[in-house]
Structure 1
Amino acid sequence: MSAKVDERVYDEIEALEAILIEDLVVKHEDGVPKIIETVIHPSTADNIDQQFVCITLEVRLTPDYPDSSPEVFLRNPRGLDDQLLSIINTKIREMLNINLGNPVIFELIELVREFLTQSNLPSGQCVICLHGFTQGDVFIKTQCYHHFHSHCLSKHLIAGKKYYQEELDKLPNWQQVQAPAYQQTCPVCRCLVAFDVETLKKAPPPVDSLTAPPFHLTAELKALQQRMADLLARQVARGGVVGMGDDGPPPLTITTPSDNEEPKVSTSGTQDVKVEAAGGARPGSSTSSDGPASPASPNRASYKGPFRGFNRRGKPGRRGRGGR
């Protein structure tokens, strides 16, 4: 049996559905409305392409709403930094206190929409060049609401296609035929995107990249370099860096048949043999054509090829034993 709900809640939801139409989602529990969600965009009239930021507003109704304040959450922000989100959250709490006892969801939506309209220029940095967005920049919004300078995105897409082709050329022909075609992806979330690279290339570089002062090695960077060098030296000394300070043989030696050949030495009653690299007889012994290994002549040249302690069956074990 559903709990009793204030009639003002149903009136408010009915009004919101008439205003927002399909942009409003109402979730019920046991026939009672509990969660109201809507995706909010800045006010740009009918020009959707100029909506560069958005956010999802989630309102969880309390059992005695509107006499008590609902729980409000900002989900999935796009193009908004943490500082702006903190400001919006503060304004939301102030509005909830002022409108305690009255339906407040529509006012919350309009409050957030006003902030998005004022901050329609993406905040934060372009993840490709790490420069911010400023007045005069030419930037673009992907279908997944991530923002990049058009100039930077063109470079990213060109580099991505070049890398794809280089990796494709390494495959055998039959795998190249079966490989999927190259597809553009968002640098942040890897969602598929579709842009004309030639058009993006015509955009100017970011303003900050043109006006940024030349790089200078500061005292802080020098100190950081020294700390990193000391850390690397300590790791090398303790054997924690692979490939540095290791003067021993590599764990795996790749050789050719000619590298494994040894001088053939004849002994009485035995046949000349060649010592194999890993699975052959033990150095210092020879193998007859139809019998087990026997001691080799003292004059036989010592084995100098790679040896890893494997028996003649190619399995780890005691050297020179276990053959069948």
Structure 2
Amino acid sequence: MSAANVDERVFEELQALEAIFSPDIIIKWEDGVPKGVEMNVLPSTCDNTDEQYVRLTLEICLSPDYPETSPKVIMRNPRGLDDRILSCMQSDIEDKLNENIGHLIVYELIEMVRECLTQCNLPRGQCVICLHGFVQGDIFIKTPCFHYFHSQCLSKHFIAGKKYYEEELDKLPAWQRMEAKAYQQTCPVCRSTVQFNVDDLKLAPPPVESIDAQPFHLTDEIRSMQERMAALMAHQISRGGVIGIGDTEPPPLIITDPADQQEPKSSTSGTQSAPRPETSTSVRTTGNSASGAPASPTRPPYRLRGFNRRGKPGRRGRGGSR
């Protein structure tokens, strides 16, 4: 499809969108043909970015014969919005598209989504630290990566994280402590680097829901779940699926020498020890010994796993043939 086949109204609409929303809007072109529009939509808060608690990326893919057919609308990277709100927004968008076939609709879609975000400009879901929801009266914080936490909860997270960092740092030798990076606050969700004043966060009151929350008690449902998880854990351990349970130290690489493979010698009483059992990977010796007697019975190969003493992969032990 060439640019000559595109409705002239589409070019006029895109020019108007770029003038209104630049530099926040991205118009995608391919060989001079418009393919779509992408924009990060935020709630209207009179340019007060600190009070913009929700957002999403709106992508509008234009069909070749738009506006005679409806564009495809995709909402990506939502922040502070739960599935119920996103589902309602998607339903409203589809109704809007069906009612306006044959009309330019991109600007109206952007404004409709912005209006919805303005009405829902309060984080949904739970604080991942305390697991309580956000309700009216809560003092919460928004990170630059658009994740939300109660201010007091985030202060506790940073205090605990710094304490753990210092405990682990003390375990290192002096030369590693000198080279270690300083403690850095990170977002509990995406691990992005953030910077907050912990003393200010500690002054915030606890979450509203935590004040009226009932004391925890072990219910039959929780006890049943614990029993199922314990049985699953035991099954995983028995199958070797859990590493570190009961280990006193990391498992070393097993490197054996030819001396480890020597056959048992006869005891002074004349009684010979039982030979080692033969395995499916045994190597038989077919030559004769220096006395002309048959060679010793079948001997298993070197039990090398991992690397030999030279630090190179292989099956040759120390003292083996080169």
TM-score bin, normalised by smaller chain: 0.7 to 0.9
Segment drifting more, 105-114 vs 171-180: 171-180
Q: Deviations over 1:110-133 (max 9, x none)?
A: 111111111111001111111110
Q: What letter matches 2:141 in structure 1?
A: I
Residue equivalent to 1:169: 170
SS of residue in 2 equivalent to 1:22: coil
Question: Normalised by the size of structure 1, how large is the TM-score?
Answer: 0.74
- Pairing 1:223–2:245 present: no
Cα distance change of structure 1 residues 202 and 250 upon mapping to structure 2, 3 Å threshold: closer
Residue equivalent to 1:85: 86
Residue equivalent to 1:4: 5
CA distance in 1, matches of 2:265, 2:94: 91
Cα distance change of structure 1 residues 101 and 294 upon mapping to structure 2, 3 Å threshold: closer
Alignment of 1:293-304 (within 5 A): none
Alignment of 1:255-270 (within 5 A): none
- Pairing 1:146–2:153 present: no
SS of residue in 1 equivalent to 2:23: helix
Deviation at 1:29, TM superposition (A): 0.5
Residue equivalent to 1:263: none
Cα distance change of structure 1 residues 81 and 168 upon mapping to structure 2, 3 Å threshold: same
Question: Normalised by the size of structure 2, how large is the TM-score?
Answer: 0.75
Deviation at 1:240, TM superposition (A): 6.9
Q: Cα RMSD (Å) of the superposition?
A: 3.9
CA distance in 2, matches of 1:242, 1:186: 28
SS of residue in 1 equivalent to 2:103: coil
Alignment of 1:1-324 (within 5 A): 2-231=3-232
CA distance in 1, matches of 2:50, 2:244: 52
SS of residue in 2 equivalent to 1:59: strand
The answer as to whether partners of 1:279 and 1:314 remain within 8 angstroms in 2 is: no
Cα distance change of structure 1 residues 161 and 281 upon mapping to structure 2, 3 Å threshold: same
The answer as to whether partners of 1:239 and 1:245 remain within 8 angstroms in 2 is: no
Q: Deviations over 1:240-269 (max 9, x none)?
A: 7778899xx99969xxxxxxxxxxxxxxxx
Deviation at 1:235, TM superposition (A): 6.0
CA distance in 1, matches of 2:249, 2:104: 74
The answer as to whether partners of 2:258 and 2:320 remain within 8 angstroms in 1 is: no
Cα distance change of structure 1 residues 236 and 189 upon mapping to structure 2, 3 Å threshold: closer
Task: Figure out how many residues of one structure are paired with residues of the other and give that number.
Answer: 282
CA distance in 1, matches of 2:221, 2:54: 36
Q: What letter matches 1:96 in structure 2?
A: L
SS of residue in 1 equivalent to 2:126: coil
Deviation at 1:179, TM superposition (A): 1.6
Stretches of structure 1 that go unaligned for 5 or more consecutive residues are 254-277, 286-292, 299-308
Stretches of structure 2 that go unaligned for 5 or more consecutive residues are 270-301
Cα distance change of structure 1 residues 250 and 295 upon mapping to structure 2, 3 Å threshold: farther
Cα distance change of structure 1 residues 56 and 252 upon mapping to structure 2, 3 Å threshold: closer
Residue equivalent to 2:281: none
Cα distance change of structure 1 residues 98 and 146 upon mapping to structure 2, 3 Å threshold: same
What stretches of structure 1 move > 4 A for 4+ residues in a row?
Answer: 229-246, 249-253, 278-282, 293-298
CA distance in 2, matches of 1:166, 1:108: 53
Cα distance change of structure 1 residues 98 and 280 upon mapping to structure 2, 3 Å threshold: closer
Q: What letter matches 1:92 in structure 2?
A: I
- The sequence identity of aligned pairs, in percent, is 58
Cα distance change of structure 1 residues 47 and 229 upon mapping to structure 2, 3 Å threshold: closer
Deviation at 1:218, TM superposition (A): 2.4
CA distance in 1, matches of 2:250, 2:173: 29
